[in-house]
Protein backbone atom coordinates (compact mmCIF):
# COMPACT_ATOMS: atom_id res chain seq x y z
CA UNK A 1 0.00 0.00 0.00
CA UNK A 2 1.24 3.52 -0.79
CA UNK A 3 -0.18 7.01 -0.95
CA UNK A 4 0.93 7.14 -4.61
CA UNK A 5 -1.93 4.72 -5.39
CA UNK A 6 -4.55 7.28 -4.38
CA UNK A 7 -5.76 8.97 -7.56
CA UNK A 8 -9.51 9.33 -7.12
CA UNK A 9 -10.63 12.85 -6.14
CA UNK A 10 -13.95 11.42 -4.98
CA UNK A 11 -12.13 9.34 -2.36
CA UNK A 12 -10.38 12.46 -1.11
CA UNK A 13 -13.69 14.28 -0.85
CA UNK A 14 -15.17 11.36 1.08
CA UNK A 15 -12.32 11.70 3.57
CA UNK A 16 -12.98 15.44 3.78
CA UNK A 17 -16.66 14.77 4.52
CA UNK A 18 -15.72 12.36 7.29
CA UNK A 19 -13.29 14.96 8.69
CA UNK A 20 -16.11 17.52 8.77
CA UNK A 21 -18.50 15.03 10.28
CA UNK A 22 -16.44 13.86 13.26
CA UNK A 23 -14.11 16.83 13.73
CA UNK A 24 -10.37 17.25 13.38
CA UNK A 25 -9.24 15.71 16.67
CA UNK A 26 -11.38 12.60 16.29
CA UNK A 27 -10.36 12.20 12.64
CA UNK A 28 -6.63 12.42 13.40
CA UNK A 29 -6.97 10.06 16.36
CA UNK A 30 -8.92 7.54 14.28
CA UNK A 31 -6.27 7.38 11.57
CA UNK A 32 -3.25 7.88 13.83
CA UNK A 33 -1.87 11.07 12.30
CA UNK A 34 -0.46 14.16 13.97
CA UNK A 35 -1.53 17.69 13.13
CA UNK A 36 -0.14 19.24 9.96
CA UNK A 37 2.31 22.10 10.45
CA UNK A 38 3.03 23.70 7.09
CA UNK A 39 0.92 22.30 4.27
CA UNK A 40 -2.87 21.97 4.22
CA UNK A 41 -5.45 20.76 1.75
CA UNK A 42 -8.03 23.52 1.16
CA UNK A 43 -11.60 22.63 0.19
CA UNK A 44 -14.35 25.28 0.13
CA UNK A 45 -12.17 27.62 2.15
CA UNK A 46 -11.48 25.12 4.95
CA UNK A 47 -8.08 23.64 5.80
CA UNK A 48 -7.50 19.92 6.24
CA UNK A 49 -4.47 17.93 7.44
CA UNK A 50 -3.28 16.65 4.07
CA UNK A 51 -1.43 13.49 5.11
CA UNK A 52 -4.33 12.28 7.24
CA UNK A 53 -6.75 13.00 4.40
CA UNK A 54 -4.66 10.97 1.96
CA UNK A 55 -4.43 8.14 4.47
CA UNK A 56 -8.19 8.03 4.90
CA UNK A 57 -8.79 8.47 1.16
CA UNK A 58 -6.82 5.28 0.48
CA UNK A 59 -9.38 3.39 2.54
CA UNK A 60 -12.26 4.92 0.60
CA UNK A 61 -10.67 4.18 -2.78
CA UNK A 62 -9.46 0.71 -1.77
CA UNK A 63 -11.85 -0.55 0.92
CA UNK A 64 -10.39 -4.04 0.68
CA UNK A 65 -6.97 -2.66 1.71
CA UNK A 66 -8.13 -0.03 4.17
CA UNK A 67 -6.65 3.34 5.12
CA UNK A 68 -2.95 4.13 5.29
CA UNK A 69 -1.16 4.74 8.58
CA UNK A 70 1.75 7.18 9.13
CA UNK A 71 4.14 4.22 8.80
CA UNK A 72 2.92 3.60 5.25
CA UNK A 73 4.19 6.98 4.05
CA UNK A 74 7.54 6.68 2.33
CA UNK A 75 7.70 10.17 0.81
CA UNK A 76 7.75 13.48 2.62
CA UNK A 77 4.88 15.85 3.15
CA UNK A 78 5.61 17.87 0.02
CA UNK A 79 5.32 14.71 -2.08
CA UNK A 80 1.84 14.18 -0.65
CA UNK A 81 0.95 17.76 -1.51
CA UNK A 82 2.01 17.25 -5.13
CA UNK A 83 -0.17 14.15 -5.29
CA UNK A 84 -3.18 16.18 -4.16
CA UNK A 85 -2.37 18.96 -6.61
CA UNK A 86 -2.26 16.49 -9.51
CA UNK A 87 -5.84 15.56 -8.59
CA UNK A 88 -6.87 19.20 -8.88
CA UNK A 89 -6.88 20.19 -5.22
CA UNK A 90 -5.46 23.38 -3.77
CA UNK A 91 -2.69 23.33 -1.18
CA UNK A 92 -1.99 26.16 1.22
CA UNK A 93 1.25 26.68 3.10
CA UNK A 94 1.09 28.59 6.36
CA UNK A 95 3.77 31.17 7.13
CA UNK A 96 6.73 30.62 9.42
CA UNK A 97 5.23 32.77 12.20
CA UNK A 98 2.63 30.11 12.87
CA UNK A 99 4.97 27.13 12.97
CA UNK A 100 8.58 26.81 14.03
CA UNK A 101 9.35 23.73 11.97
CA UNK A 102 11.96 24.39 9.31
CA UNK A 103 10.89 23.34 5.84
CA UNK A 104 12.88 21.01 3.61
CA UNK A 105 13.31 23.90 1.15
CA UNK A 106 15.01 25.97 3.84
CA UNK A 107 17.29 23.06 4.70
CA UNK A 108 18.19 22.65 1.02
CA UNK A 109 18.94 26.38 0.72
CA UNK A 110 21.28 26.15 3.70
CA UNK A 111 22.99 23.10 2.20
CA UNK A 112 23.43 24.92 -1.12
CA UNK A 113 24.93 27.92 0.67
CA UNK A 114 27.37 25.70 2.55
CA UNK A 115 28.35 23.96 -0.67
CA UNK A 116 28.95 27.32 -2.35
CA UNK A 117 31.54 28.31 0.26
CA UNK A 118 34.19 26.46 -1.70
CA UNK A 119 35.35 23.09 -2.92
CA UNK A 120 37.47 20.80 -0.79
CA UNK A 121 41.20 21.43 -1.12
CA UNK A 122 43.12 18.32 0.02
CA UNK A 123 46.36 20.29 0.14
CA UNK A 124 45.07 22.79 2.70
CA UNK A 125 44.53 20.35 5.56
CA UNK A 126 45.33 22.84 8.33
CA UNK A 127 42.74 25.30 7.04
CA UNK A 128 40.19 22.48 6.84
CA UNK A 129 40.98 21.52 10.42
CA UNK A 130 40.42 25.10 11.64
CA UNK A 131 37.10 25.26 9.80
CA UNK A 132 36.01 21.95 11.31
CA UNK A 133 36.87 23.04 14.85
CA UNK A 134 35.12 26.38 14.33
CA UNK A 135 32.00 24.60 13.09
CA UNK A 136 32.00 22.32 16.15
CA UNK A 137 32.32 25.29 18.51
CA UNK A 138 29.46 27.09 16.75
CA UNK A 139 27.23 24.02 17.03
CA UNK A 140 28.05 23.50 20.69
CA UNK A 141 27.08 27.08 21.50
CA UNK A 142 28.64 30.06 23.23
CA UNK A 143 31.28 28.74 25.68
CA UNK A 144 29.92 30.47 28.81
CA UNK A 145 26.32 29.51 28.03
CA UNK A 146 27.30 25.92 27.31
CA UNK A 147 29.49 25.78 30.42
CA UNK A 148 26.57 26.86 32.61
CA UNK A 149 24.34 24.20 31.04
CA UNK A 150 26.99 21.50 31.47
CA UNK A 151 27.16 22.40 35.17
CA UNK A 152 23.39 22.59 35.59
CA UNK A 153 22.74 19.24 33.92
CA UNK A 154 25.72 17.41 35.39
CA UNK A 155 27.39 16.98 31.99
CA UNK A 156 24.50 14.83 30.74
CA UNK A 157 21.95 15.35 27.98
CA UNK A 158 18.65 16.58 29.43
CA UNK A 159 16.75 13.96 27.42
CA UNK A 160 18.95 10.95 26.68
CA UNK A 161 21.33 11.15 29.65
CA UNK A 162 24.31 10.89 27.27
CA UNK A 163 27.51 11.89 29.12
CA UNK A 164 29.84 12.27 26.11
CA UNK A 165 30.48 15.98 26.47
CA UNK A 166 31.93 16.29 22.96
CA UNK A 167 28.44 15.71 21.50
CA UNK A 168 26.49 17.83 24.01
CA UNK A 169 25.30 21.19 22.78
CA UNK A 170 23.75 24.30 24.30
CA UNK A 171 20.26 24.58 22.81
CA UNK A 172 18.34 27.83 23.15
CA UNK A 173 14.67 27.25 23.93
CA UNK A 174 13.74 30.68 22.60
CA UNK A 175 16.01 31.52 19.66
CA UNK A 176 19.16 33.53 20.40
CA UNK A 177 18.39 37.25 20.29
CA UNK A 178 21.37 38.66 22.15
CA UNK A 179 23.27 38.02 25.39
CA UNK A 180 20.12 38.24 27.53
CA UNK A 181 18.83 35.04 25.93
CA UNK A 182 21.96 33.17 27.05
CA UNK A 183 20.38 32.56 30.45
CA UNK A 184 20.59 28.98 31.71
CA UNK A 185 16.78 28.89 32.13
CA UNK A 186 16.48 29.56 28.40
CA UNK A 187 18.60 26.56 27.55
CA UNK A 188 18.71 22.79 27.41
CA UNK A 189 21.80 20.62 27.23
CA UNK A 190 21.08 18.28 24.34
CA UNK A 191 22.88 15.62 22.36
CA UNK A 192 23.69 16.84 18.85
CA UNK A 193 20.94 14.92 17.04
CA UNK A 194 18.29 15.87 19.60
CA UNK A 195 19.33 19.53 19.35
CA UNK A 196 18.74 19.32 15.59
CA UNK A 197 15.28 17.79 16.05
CA UNK A 198 14.46 20.44 18.66
CA UNK A 199 15.43 23.26 16.29
CA UNK A 200 13.47 21.66 13.44
CA UNK A 201 10.32 21.50 15.56
CA UNK A 202 10.27 17.71 15.48
CA UNK A 203 10.89 17.50 19.22
CA UNK A 204 9.45 19.67 21.97
CA UNK A 205 8.88 19.65 25.72
CA UNK A 206 5.37 19.73 27.15
CA UNK A 207 5.89 22.50 29.74
CA UNK A 208 3.53 21.60 32.59
CA UNK A 209 4.87 18.08 33.12
CA UNK A 210 8.28 18.51 31.41
CA UNK A 211 7.54 15.57 29.10
CA UNK A 212 9.32 14.96 25.77
CA UNK A 213 7.04 15.12 22.72
CA UNK A 214 8.21 13.59 19.44
CA UNK A 215 6.56 14.42 16.12
CA UNK A 216 4.17 11.71 14.93
CA UNK A 217 6.21 11.01 11.80
CA UNK A 218 9.23 10.06 13.94
CA UNK A 219 7.48 7.87 16.49
CA UNK A 220 8.04 4.74 14.41
CA UNK A 221 11.80 5.41 14.43
CA UNK A 222 14.29 4.98 17.27
CA UNK A 223 13.30 8.44 18.50
CA UNK A 224 9.83 7.17 19.27
CA UNK A 225 11.26 5.63 22.45
CA UNK A 226 11.77 9.15 23.78
CA UNK A 227 8.13 10.18 23.34
CA UNK A 228 6.58 10.69 26.78
CA UNK A 229 9.93 10.55 28.57
CA UNK A 230 10.41 12.85 31.54
CA UNK A 231 12.95 15.62 31.04
CA UNK A 232 16.01 15.44 33.30
CA UNK A 233 15.82 18.64 35.36
CA UNK A 234 18.68 20.42 37.15
CA UNK A 235 18.73 20.06 40.93
CA UNK A 236 18.96 23.84 41.37
CA UNK A 237 15.54 25.40 40.81
CA UNK A 238 16.90 28.59 39.21
CA UNK A 239 18.70 26.48 36.59
CA UNK A 240 15.56 24.70 35.44
CA UNK A 241 14.13 25.62 32.04
CA UNK A 242 11.56 28.39 31.94
CA UNK A 243 8.04 26.97 31.58
CA UNK A 244 7.05 30.05 29.57
CA UNK A 245 9.93 29.51 27.15
CA UNK A 246 9.11 25.80 26.83
CA UNK A 247 5.45 26.63 26.21
CA UNK A 248 6.39 29.07 23.45
CA UNK A 249 8.63 26.53 21.70
CA UNK A 250 5.99 23.82 22.17
CA UNK A 251 3.36 25.96 20.49
CA UNK A 252 5.65 27.10 17.67
CA UNK A 253 6.72 23.53 16.94
CA UNK A 254 3.15 22.62 16.03
CA UNK A 255 3.28 19.61 18.37
CA UNK A 256 0.97 21.13 20.97
CA UNK A 257 -2.58 19.70 20.86
Residue-range domain boundaries for the chain: 8-93, 137-253
Q: What's 157's DSSP letter?
A: -
pLDDT recorded at residue 133: 53
| pLDDT tens-digit map of 47-95 | 899 999 999 999 999 999 899 988 876 544 557 888 888 888 888 876 4
Interacting residues of 144 by C-beta distance below 8 A, sequence separation 6+: 182
Distance, in Å, from the CA atom of 239 to the CA atom of 163, rounded to the nearest integer, reads 19
| pLDDT tens-digit map of 89-126 | 888 876 444 444 555 555 555 555 555 555 445 555 55
The pairing of beta strand 211-214 with beta strand 39-43:
unpaired
- Global pTM? 0.51
Amino acid sequence: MAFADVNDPAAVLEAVREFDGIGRDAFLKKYGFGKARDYFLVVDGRRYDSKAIIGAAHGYQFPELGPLTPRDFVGGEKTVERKLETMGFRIERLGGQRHHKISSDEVQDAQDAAQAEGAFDPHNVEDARRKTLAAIVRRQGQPAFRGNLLRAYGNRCAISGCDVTEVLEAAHIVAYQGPETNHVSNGLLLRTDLHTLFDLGLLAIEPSAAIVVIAAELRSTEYGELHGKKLRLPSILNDRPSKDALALQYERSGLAP
